Each structure stands twice: as C-alpha cells, then as structure tokens.
C-alpha cells in the first residue's frame, strides 16, 4: 500500500473538520449507494471508470482509498448523482458522506506518524540536470562537475541528511548557473532563449563589436564615392594591368588612372593591397599569389590577368548577392559559426585546413563541434562512428589466428587512433572542452579518414570566442 503525500494531506485535513460526528455504519452507506449509485456504477456500467457495486460486500477502503476520496469529493460538491438522476435525500447524503469521511479519517490516523524533522536538502545531481533540462530544453550535463551524491543508510540518494551543501558546492552551483546564463540570449520579442552552445559576444564585448561595426560602416560611406557603383563592373583586370604597368614599365599611378579611366583612389588601394604582405583574407591572398607570379612579358601578363579576373568573377554569384565565396570566406573567418559541406565520394580521407582569420590575432582556435558523414542513405555522427569502428577493428586485429589483412587493419587503426586522440583536447592548457569536440589552433591541417563508402560530409565549426 502506498500513499503519496498529497493524499495524506487531504485526508489529514478531513480529520480536523469531521472528527466530531459519530461515523455512520457501512450498512447505511451501502444502502444509499445501492439506491442512488449502482445504477450507473456497476460491473457493466462503469461511468467515469468507477464500479461502486464491487464494494457491496466490503468497501476495501485501504486498498481503494483513491476511489473513496473521489466519492467523497463528488458528493460533497453535489456532482453526484448527476442532475438528471434521482437525487439523494438529506439523510441519505448525510449517511454516505458521514461514512466516507469517518473511514478516511481512520485511515489518515492509522497512516499518520511523526516523520521527525525533515532536513532541507539540495537536489541530487540527477535531479539538478533534469531540472535544468526541463527549464531550458537542453541537456547541459552540468552536475558532473559537482561532488558525487552520498547514499543514505536507507539506500536512497535523495535522503535530506546526506544532501548537504558545502561552501565549495555553492561555488560549483554558481559556476553551473553562469554556464547556463552563458548559453542564453535575451532578444526583443523572444524573451530568454537557451542555446546548445555558449553565446559568443555579450556585454562589453558586444558593445565593442558594435562600435567596430559602426566604424566600418563609416569608412564604407566615406569610401563610397570612390568605389564603383553596384551596376558598374569592378574592372579588376584593368586595375591589375595598371598595377603591372606601374611595376614593370614605371608608369606613375596617376598617369595610368587618367589614361585608363580608373579611380586613382581605388588604384592606389589596389597597389597597396597586392603588394602588402600583411595577411588579409584567403580571397585576397590567392590573388596576391597570382599577382606575384605575373611575368615581365606584357602579352603573357595581359593574358594571365584576364584569367585572374575571370577567376575573381567566378567567385561571385550575381544571382544571390552575399552568397559567394567571399561570404563563405567571412564565415570561415569566424564571424559566424561555419557550416561546410562537400562531396567526399571516392576520397579515403579529407584534409581539414584551419587557417588564421588574418585579423592580427595569432593562433586562432577553431572548434569543430560536429562532423557528419553520409554513407549510403545513413548519416553518421563521425565521432560515434570513429569510436565504434576503432573498437571493432581492434577486436578484429586481436583474433587468433591473425586475420589475413592484419597489416592493413593495423594501418587503418593507427590512422583512426590519430584523429581519435585529437578529440576532447584544447590546445591551451587548463581549458576544457567536451569529449566530442575538436579544438585546433591555426594554422594546421587535420587528416580526417573517411568511412568506407562515404559520399557526403558536413562539418560544423566556429571560432573559439573565449580565446583571448
């Protein structure tokens, strides 16, 4: 028999109100039920899922106290019998209600007992994680940082006496709360929203980023009169040819601007950019390489320049402004989380190249949060696949007699172990990341072996914003 605390409280309340009246007998109460209730609450007709006739011989109040609680509620509220049915007389009503109350009182008294002082307790670690999950919709698994729950002598981990708080535990709670807050945004109209990952900029950092953005817009406006209009061709080829002439034929830039009808501002900008060695973006860096390799011979140079221009233009998608390579470049530079996908058909491995964003911050760190590989119709979580495959292959390599392809197996295992060892480690000392995340300090190239038959790859990466 199990009573939960809500029912105990209800029953307990009844004690105070009715303990004075002498309890009527079951015989009388049963007579009322028979006359006014069985009609709809019998073995065959169980309105409201209630069969009252089954209790004719024995009300079984202990076993079925929940039914009797309902009976008490419905008659007390005047819900039963329903308005259209024969109603109880006042004496019937008193007999039935009096009997139910009396019985429930006895039961409450029998069940009561002094539970002793109840210790205020903290949540168990599991309760904590479930609570955060219920509140935010995300499973952050924060309680793994907490002290482990002790077990009470009774064998329950939620016994108040063992769930005490130490000052260190309070600190950990604060940290956990901060982590949850780090994943939240408050947007106008949306209220507080929780995200699976830490939200990048906030507070002071955000203001600074906005200021920089504002400055950038100001520069753009100042530069606008000197820039080609939207519908004008950028004339990349002409600008580059002018630069080439300046370099190889010593023609002054302003002379060239005049002769070739180019903007002198833009031209001197080009000149500076192609010759500067300061890293900018890969987009520009690639153009610089082509520029440096231009020959001194005018005819070949002119032809090559046409090629470079065509190349530059092919990177833009005029139908979808902002969707071209330049935009992807910005994403890859860490301005936004960067999601990349590509075909990997027939590729046994791919190389993940992490470059600097070129913003002057040395040693940018990229977080690769998720890799997904499609094999046939299946989409594999690469991390899971890696763990599973390593386990399988290690088993195959350990059998006796040795597998015929043992050498190949060993090579594959070594390859997989190499990338497995990169997971869950942060290049900076003392920094922790989740086991399924790869953190890479730029510049670096990571070899990622592909599952057999893989044909499509998706990667979710972002700049590690915590990195100073």
Minimum distance, C-beta of residue 100 to ligand HEC, in the bound complex (Å)? 9
The residue within the footprint of ligand HEC, chosen from 29, 30, 41, 102 (CB under 6 A), is: 41
The residue within the footprint of ligand HEC, chosen from 3, 8, 26, 39 (CB under 6 A), is: 39
Residue closer to ligand HEC (CB basis): 67 or 368: 67
Residue closer to ligand HEC (CB basis): 40 or 260: 40
Residue closer to ligand HEC (CB basis): 93 or 202: 93
Tell me the residue ranges of DSSP E strands in 162-279: 184-187, 191-194
The residue within the footprint of ligand HEC, chosen from 80, 95, 240, 344 (CB under 6 A), is: 80
Asked whether 72 and 100 are in contact (CB, 8 A), the reply is yes
Where on the phi/psi map is residue 191: left (φ > 0), alpha (ψ -120 to 50), or beta? left
Q: Which secondary-structure segment (H or E) carries 460?
A: strand 454-463
Minimum distance, C-beta of residue 45 to ligand HEC, in the bound complex (Å)? 8
Please report how many Cα atoms fall inside a 13 Å half-sphere around the Cα of residue 424, on the Cβ side: 8
Minimum distance, C-beta of residue 2 to ligand HEC, in the bound complex (Å)? 20
| Residue 328: how many other CB atoms lie within 10 Å | 15
**Stretch of 82-90, 121-129, 212-220, 336-344 lying at the interface with ligand HEC (CB under 6 A):** 82-90
Residue closer to ligand HEC (CB basis): 56 or 177: 56
Residue closer to ligand HEC (CB basis): 71 or 439: 71
CA angle at 329 for the pair 328 and 334, rounded to the nearest 5°: 95
Q: Does 37 bind ligand HEC (CB under 6 A)?
A: yes
Closest residue to ligand HEC: CB criterion = 48
**Stretch of 31-39, 187-195, 243-251, 391-399 lying at the interface with ligand HEC (CB under 6 A):** 31-39
Scored b (16 or more CB within 10 A) or e, 41-68 reads: bbeeeeeeebbbbbbeeebebeeebebb
The residue within the footprint of ligand HEC, chosen from 70, 198, 420, 436 (CB under 6 A), is: 70
**Stretch of 75-83, 343-351, 359-367, 394-402 lying at the interface with ligand HEC (CB under 6 A):** 75-83
Residue 287: closest CA among 248, 236, 324? 236
Phi, psi dihedral angles at 411 (to 5 degrees): -60, -45
In the numeric block, which tokens belong to residue 17?
A: 């109100």
| Size of site (CB under 6 A) for ligand HEC | 17
The residue within the footprint of ligand HEC, chosen from 10, 40, 273, 375 (CB under 6 A), is: 40
**Stretch of 7-15, 76-84, 269-277, 317-325 lying at the interface with ligand HEC (CB under 6 A):** 76-84
Residue closer to ligand HEC (CB basis): 78 or 435: 78
Minimum distance, C-beta of residue 56 to ligand HEC, in the bound complex (Å)? 13
Minimum distance, C-beta of residue 4 to ligand HEC, in the bound complex (Å)? 17
Q: Does 85 bind ligand HEC (CB under 6 A)?
A: yes
Map the footprint of ligand HEC across residues 86-145, applying CB under 6 A: 88
Minimum distance, C-beta of residue 3 to ligand HEC, in the bound complex (Å)? 19
Residue closer to ligand HEC (CB basis): 68 or 338: 68
**Stretch of 81-89, 165-173, 239-247, 289-297 lying at the interface with ligand HEC (CB under 6 A):** 81-89
Residues in CB range of 438: below 8 A, 6 or more apart: 367, 368, 422, 423, 446
Q: How far is CA 375 from CA 84, 331, 389, 408, 455, in A?
A: 67, 27, 14, 21, 6
In the numeric block, which tokens belong to residue 57?
A: 């011989």
Determine how β-strand 338-343 pairs with β-strand 349-354: unpaired
Map the footprint of ligand HEC across residues 42-61, applying CB under 6 A: 47-48, 50
Beta bridge partner(s), residue 371:
459
Q: Does 82 bind ligand HEC (CB under 6 A)?
A: yes
The residue within the footprint of ligand HEC, chosen from 54, 74, 136, 269 (CB under 6 A), is: 74
Q: Give the C-alpha separation, 11 to 7, whole Å.
A: 6
In the numeric block, which tokens belong to residue 245?
A: 């002439």
Q: Does 36 bind ligand HEC (CB under 6 A)?
A: yes
Minimum distance, C-beta of residue 52 to ligand HEC, in the bound complex (Å)? 6
Map the footprint of ligand HEC across residues 301-360, applying CB under 6 A: none
The residue within the footprint of ligand HEC, chosen from 14, 24, 61, 81 (CB under 6 A), is: 81
Determine how β-strand 184-187 pairs with β-strand 338-343: unpaired
**Stretch of 15-23, 70-78, 101-109, 336-344 lying at the interface with ligand HEC (CB under 6 A):** 70-78
Q: Give the C-alpha separation, 401 to 403, whole Å.
A: 7
Determine how β-strand 365-375 pairs with β-strand 378-381: antiparallel
Q: Give the C-alpha separation, 458 to 343, whole Å.
A: 9
CA angle at 161 for the pair 160 and 162, rounded to the nearest 5°: 95
Minimum distance, C-beta of residue 37 to ligand HEC, in the bound complex (Å)? 3
Determine how β-strand 365-375 pairs with β-strand 184-187: unpaired
Residues contributing to the site for ligand HEC (CB under 6 A): 36-37, 39-41, 47-48, 50, 70-71, 74-75, 80-82, 85, 88
């Amino acid at each position: 028999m199990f009573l939960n605390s809500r029912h105990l409280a209800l029953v307990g309340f009844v004690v105070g109100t009715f303990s004075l009246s002498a309890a009527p007998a079951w015989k009388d109460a049963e007579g009322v039920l028979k006359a006014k209730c069985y009609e709809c609450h019998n073995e065959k007709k169980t309105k409201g899922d209630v069969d009252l006739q089954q209790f004719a011989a024995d009300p079984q109040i202990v076993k079925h106290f929940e039914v009797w609680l309902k009976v008490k509620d419905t008659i007390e509220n005047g819900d039963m019998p329903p308005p259209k049915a024969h109603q109880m007389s006042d004496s019937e009503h008193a007999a039935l209600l009096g009997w139910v109350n009396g019985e429930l009182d006895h039961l409450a008294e029998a069940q009561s007992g002094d539970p002793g002082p109840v210790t205020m307790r903290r949540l168990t670690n599991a309760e904590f994680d479930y609570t955060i999950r219920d509140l935010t919709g995300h499973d952050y698994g924060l309680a793994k940082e907490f002290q482990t729950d002790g077990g009470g002598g009774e064998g329950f981990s939620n016994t108040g006496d063992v769930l005490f708080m130490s000052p260190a535990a309070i600190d950990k709670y604060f940290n956990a709360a901060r982590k949850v807050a780090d994943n939240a945004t408050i947007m106008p109209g949306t209220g507080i929203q929780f995200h699976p990952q830490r939200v990048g900029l906030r507070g002071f950092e955000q203001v600074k980023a906005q200021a920089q953005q504002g400055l950038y817009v100001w520069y753009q406006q100042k530069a606008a009169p000197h820039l080609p209009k939207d519908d004008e061709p950028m004339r990349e080829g002409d600008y580059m040819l002018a630069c080439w002439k300046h370099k190889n034929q010593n023609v002054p830039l302003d002379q060239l601007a005049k002769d070739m009808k180019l903007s002198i501002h833009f031209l001197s900008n080009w000149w500076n950019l192609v010759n500067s060695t300061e890293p900018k973006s890969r987009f520009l860096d690639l153009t610089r390489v082509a520029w440096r390799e231009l020959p001194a011979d005018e005819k070949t140079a002119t032809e090559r320049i046409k090629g470079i221009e065509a190349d530059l233009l092919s990177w833009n998608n005029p139908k979808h402004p902002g969707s071209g390579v330049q935009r992807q470049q910005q994403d890859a530079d860490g301005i936004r989380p960067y999601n990349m996908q590509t075909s990997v058909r027939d590729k046994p491995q791919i190389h993940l190249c992490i470059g600097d964003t070129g913003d002057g911050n040395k040693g940018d760190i990229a977080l690769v949060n998720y890799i997904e590989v499609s094999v046939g119709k299946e989409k594999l979580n690469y991390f899971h696949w890696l763990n599973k495959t390593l386990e399988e292959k290690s088993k195959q390599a350990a059998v006796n007699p040795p597998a015929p392809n043992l050498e190949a197996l060993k090579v594959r295992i070594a390859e997989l172990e190499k990338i497995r060892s990169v997971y869950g480690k942060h290049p900076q000392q003392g920094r922790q990341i989740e086991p399924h995340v790869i953190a890479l300090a730029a510049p670096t190239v990571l070899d990622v072996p592909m599952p057999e038959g893989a044909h499509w790859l998706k990667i979710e990466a972002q700049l590690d914003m915590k990195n100073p």
